[in-house]
Amino acid sequence: MSRALANRFTPYMFMAPAVVIMAMALIYPLGYMIWGSFRAWNPSQSIGEAEFVGLKNYVTLWKDPNFHESLGVTLKFAFFVVSFEMIIGVGLALLLDRNIRGMSVLRTMFILPMMIAPVVVGLMWRYMYHPTVGTFNRLLNDWGLPKIDWLGQHALNSIIIADIWQWTPFIFILSLAALQSLPSSALEAAKIDGATSWQQIIHIKIPLMMPVLIVTCLLRLIDAFKVLEVILVMTQGGPGLSTEILALRISRTATEFRELGVAAAMSNYLLLLLLALTVGMFLFTRLQEVRAARIRAAIDEDL
Amino acid sequence: MAKKYEKQNPAFYVLIAILVFMSIGPVLLMLVNSFKLDVDILSGTSGLLFLPTIQNYETALCDVLWYEPEHLDFCQLKFGGAFVNSLIIALVSTALTLVIGCMAAYALVRFRFMGRDTVSLTTLMVRMVPPAVLLVPVFGLWNNEFCLDKNGLIGGLIRDTLGGRGDVCLAGTHSGIILVYVAMNLPFVIWILQSFIVQVPRSLEEAARVDGAGPFQVFFKIVLPLIKPGLAAAAIFTFRIAWNEYLLASALSDRDTKTVPILIVNNMSEFNVEWGVIMATGMLLAIPPIIFTLFASRQIITGMTAGAVKG
Amino acid sequence: MHTLLKSTAVGLTAAAVTAGAALAGPYDAHKGTTLVVNFPAHPHYDAVMKILPEFTKETGIEVEVDQLPYLKMRERQTLELAQDEGDYDLIAYVVFSKADYVYADQLENLAKYFMNPKLANPAYDSADLIDGYVYNIGFAGGDRGYLSGATGSLFGMPYGSETSVLGYRKDIFEKHGLEVPQNYDELLALACQIPELEPGMGGLASRAASGHHAAHAFLLHLNPLGGAIFDESWEPVVNNAAGVKAAEALKTIVDCGAEGSVNFGFGEALGSFLNGDTAMFLDTTIVAGQVDNPDKSKVVGNVGWALHPMGTKRASQTGGFGIGIPANAENKDAAFLLMQWLTSKEGDKLVAMAGGNPSRFSTHADADVNAKFPHMATFGEALQYADPDWRPIIPVWGKINADLGTTLSKVLTEDLDIQEALDGVAARARTVMDEAGYYTWNE
């Protein structure tokens, strides 16, 4: 009898610590923040003491050109970063999907950029982009070419490059793993039918890899909105606001301008945006899954 | 399937070489620069002909050195202390996240209980939240609400034993930061471990239960040993995030609980950009992740691909 | 006999104890205390770190320092000062924080410490303190809230204060027969002439990075050219002709500056000058210490100093840091003793010899200091023209400053039209001032 009782409570006992911690440090703060976004809130006050201002924070942001610029920068950054990383990562995976000696050593070296702290990545690139003593400009100088103002005029491009450096390995490893788990039967069949490697790629490999690619793309997209430390160290959001992505703007509004209510409202906008993107990708995944299932079924029929 | 090593086009090898160079290049650059004096770095004597010096490391580690380096007037960077803080926070949060996470993952996979789908969905959704968004409320809560009055029972006890001033709040303590890290990492760890637990055959568990084992025993003695690779992967990822994280740590730490990333960013002061010392501290921070990469790359890749690639 | 001996012994002991008590130094009561202080990572405070062991030796009070980059220091302080009980006993505050902290009642009013005979040093000689600095950095509640005036009181002491000065490369000037610029027209002409005379070299190194840096650089030119941010009734006039001229001057300087100068923070601008990439440097006096340091500078011995060029008047910067006692500090008396020691004649000379910025007229004129740092004489002269109203130190300044800086950075990088940009700043500043209540008496 007690055994059965214990069994009934077991799942709850297993789940309890996780639920408690996530509730305390994730759910409650998020709720707090949503509630706080309707107030004029200062870091030294607890919410009860903050004055209720209704939708004022949201309206202020909606009309704020700085917010629009920051939003634009964020979307641009996320779009370019994810697109380039996907293209380069998948491309490299397709190219390097061969049996060569030392592949595991290579993979080890490719993972390195991902493991380094974003702060340190920012440091390294800031040095390399330095207008006078940085590696790139010194090289350009040596080759007689004009120096480029990396962190000035081309700040956004420079941080995109730095992020590509850090995260393409992620896409690459995942795509490679997906490629290596494809059913070889399908590829054999295609080769026998005389398909060129290009056709193989487009009609077989990529569609079959799609589920993985979608998940990877989604993961990377979500993470692209979280990038902050690299930008903080390299440009601090400058020049002007040209590299101030929303996450950075939120943290600045909170710590520098000390307007937690406005920061909270901005956070809510960001979360809504992320939610919209996630749901969008989710629906897209469904479509692709249906399509991939259809292809698999067709292949199975033929064999 | 036998592994045949096919011969490749030389261009292929060139491509590989370029890729390797691009991946490791910046790190090597940092390593080399950390052994150069500022004057050398700024003047642009690139290349490998320079006199290596450990001055930068001496400056960085000045509070754990047993001797006084002569080039230093006073010890400014307290790297030793920060290192210890980082280590404590990273290790404890990794351990906690693993224990709590795998218990939760097990429950989600094996049991049907009320609220299971809600929890599962929440876990996924919470992954979307950027740390910057979490910063705002955590900053307010840790400083003002999650506090024990210093005149109260527990609060008074803490003040008497540990000293310090004011109400006992979560901000500025190791536990405060650890709590946030555990909460941030749980979704990811649960997600990874779920895909590993799913692969443990139910028959083993059934057999154990028939033999009279209780659910906890089944979990600890049967399931856990079988998902060791998953645990390793999850551990590495959690440690990496806790070790490298800057934003929340800088908002929630005070003088005594500074971690290494905070030290590095604070050191990039306006007036005196000491590249050599900055590179040295960067290298020191990067050492554990580099070690993990070299010795545990397989686990890392397993962790990444779990759940994303089915089968 | 016994009783006689005993009473003599007792009497002698009593006498010794009383004598001891009478001779008790001002620091004895606080021996063994540890003060926790918050300083910025700034060359002046690096010099202070070097002389703190002297303080501990003399007084027995230990000092634990938390050094942070100064903008981070400000963020940390705003949090710490708002608590009921703070960690810091003494803080160094950025000058424009004076308004925030005093307004929020977070700094101790120093009157009662100077009134306490056990703490106040009669040999302090407050007339020797540079008054421009005292009023700009330590005094609050006077005219317009932040200037000197009969209604104000002292909340902090200037420490690490600086004014602006022009540094130039004597060798380059000699080589091309150039004259040291006395006014802004000459300065701007030279700034663009030098890159043509010396290919690859910038004219004037200036801060320009988005935010605080660009705003600071702009203000450097605004006052000498006769402009101001606000007029007497707090209406923004930053977009008047003088303001536009100042912004144009900044743009000219940055355009003719070294590579990448549009992104220079203070450190990079200084680095450019120290590396020999730029011929002139117009910014704070703190740089003097680094110019002659062979570890950091390649232009040792080649730098001359001149006054900040004249526009319609001479008005150099007043800025830097001050030290104050937080209202929620634990060891306020001991903190006051530290503050007094640091800004005393002896302390000021010590820090000047170690490379810091003196806060007293006497230190600038001191023979030893001048022997070690010959530029001190020029700096002493520059102090006469230090303008205490160089920047409005009001609680909402931080926001206006950030907006000004970001807008100016856009002017520099995106070629925004100057008049339009300044009009925008003026309009937004007006909204901020209106919300803060500065026009309440105008109606």
Tens of pLDDT along B188-215? 888 888 888 888 888 888 888 888 777 7
Strand locations in A141-295 (E): none
pLDDT at C1 over 60: no
Q: What is the mean pLDDT of residues C347-361?
A: 88
Candidates C45, C43, C162, C49; CA nearest to C92 is C45
Q: Using CB atoms, list chains with 3+ pairs below 8 Å to chain A.
A: B, C
Report pLDDT for A257.
Answer: 75
- Going from the C-alpha of C145 to that of each of A152, A229, C139, C318, C393, the distances in angstroms are 38, 39, 9, 17, 8
CB contact under 8 A, B27 and A116: yes
Q: What tens digit of pLDDT does each residue of A87-124 get?
A: 999 888 888 777 677 777 888 888 888 888 999 999 88
Closest CA to B169 of B184, B183, B190, B155: B155
pLDDT at res. A222: 87
Q: How far apart are CA A193 and CA B222, in angstroms?
A: 48
pLDDT computed for residue A72 by the predictor: 92
How high is the pLDDT of residue B178? 92
How far is B194 from B216, CA to CA, in rounded Å? 17
Over 50: is that where the pLDDT of B2 sits? no
Average pLDDT for residues B134-140, to the nearest whole number? 83
Say if B83 is an interface residue toward chain A (CB within 8 Å): no
The per-residue DSSP string of B36-47 comes to: S-HHHHHHT--S
Q: What is the pLDDT of residues B90-132, one digit of tens each?
A: 999 999 999 999 888 888 887 777 777 777 777 778 888 888 8
Residues in chain A within 8 Å Cβ distance of B180: 25
Q: Which of B168, B174, B197 is nearest to B93 (CA)?
A: B174
Residue B311 tokens, joined: 């089968």
ipTM of predicted assembly, 2 dp: 0.83
Query: What is the share, in percent, of chain C residues with pLDDT greater than 70?
Result: 94
* pLDDT confidence of residue B242: 92
Q: How far is CA C130 from CA C135, C163, C375, C402, in A?
A: 9, 11, 17, 29
pLDDT at B310: 46
Please report the pLDDT score of residue A4 as a whole number.
63
Nearest to C43 among B39, B74, B271 (CB): B271
- pTM: predicted TM-score of the whole model, two decimal places: 0.82
Per CB-CB distance under 8 Å, the chain B contacts of A99 are 3-6
Contacting residues of A for C414, CB less than 8 Å apart: 240
Q: For residue A213, give Cα distances in angstroms to A77, A166, B308.
A: 20, 18, 9
pLDDT of residue B90: 93
- Interface-testing mutation among A15, A121, A236, with chain B (most B C-beta atoms within 10 A): A15
Treating both helix axes as pointing N-terminal to C-terminal, what angle do A135-142 and A118-128 enclose, rounded to 10 degrees?
Answer: 20
Chain C partners within 8 Å of B39 (Cβ): 295
Is it the case that residue C211 has pLDDT exceeding 80? no
In this predicted structure, what is the pLDDT of residue C78? 80
Q: What is the pLDDT of residues C126-158, one digit of tens each?
A: 888 888 888 888 888 888 888 888 888 999 999
Looking at the DSSP bridge assignments, the partners of residue C35 are C63
For residue range B239-272, what is the model confidence (pLDDT) as tens digits? 999 999 998 888 888 878 889 998 888 887 666 6
Chain A residues touching residue B138 (CB < 8 angstroms): 25, 29
Residue B311 reports pLDDT greater than 50: no
Q: For C68-91, write each residue's pLDDT tens digit.
A: 887 788 888 887 887 778 889 999
CB contact under 8 A, A215 and B129: no
Q: What percent of chain B is predicted at pLDDT more than 70?
A: 86
Check CB contact under 8 Å for C413 and A147.
Answer: no
Q: Say if residues B236 and B299 touch (Cβ distance below 8 Å).
A: yes
- Cα separation of A116 and B288, whole Å? 9
For chain B, which chains pass the contact test of at least 3 CB pairs under 8 Å? A, C
- Which residues of B are less than 8 Å from A115 in CB distance? 240, 289-290, 292-293, 300
With bands split at pLDDT 50, 70 and 90, how would you rate the model's confidence at C349? Answer: very high
Tokens of A168: 């393409």
Q: Which residues of B touch C268 (CB under 8 A)?
A: 273
From chain A residues 19-38, the ones with a CB under 8 A of any chain B CB are 19, 21-22, 24-30, 32-33, 36
Per-residue pLDDT band for C14 (boundaries 50, 70, 90) equals low
A2, A3, A10, A271: which to substitute to probe chain B, counting the most B Cβ within 10 Å? A10
| Residue C271: alpha-carbon gap to chain centroid | 20
pLDDT at residue number B269: 67
Is C22's pLDDT higher than 60? no
Across residues C51-67, what is the average pLDDT? 90
- Local confidence band at B3 (pLDDT 50, 70, 90 cut-offs): very low
Enumerate residue ranges in chain A where pLDDT < 50.
Answer: 1
Q: Does B311 touch chain A (CB under 8 A)?
A: yes
* Number of inter-chain CB pairs under 8 A, B vs C: 61
| Model confidence at C364: pLDDT above 70 | yes
User: Which of C72, C413, C432, C435 is the best mutation test for A, with the most CBs of A within 10 A?
Assistant: C413
pLDDT band at C8 (very low <50, low <70, confident <90, very high): low
Q: Please tell me if residue A120 touches chain B, with a CB cutoff of 8 Å.
A: yes
Rounded alpha-carbon distances, angstroms, from residue C312 to C185, C220, C288, C389: 11, 13, 27, 16
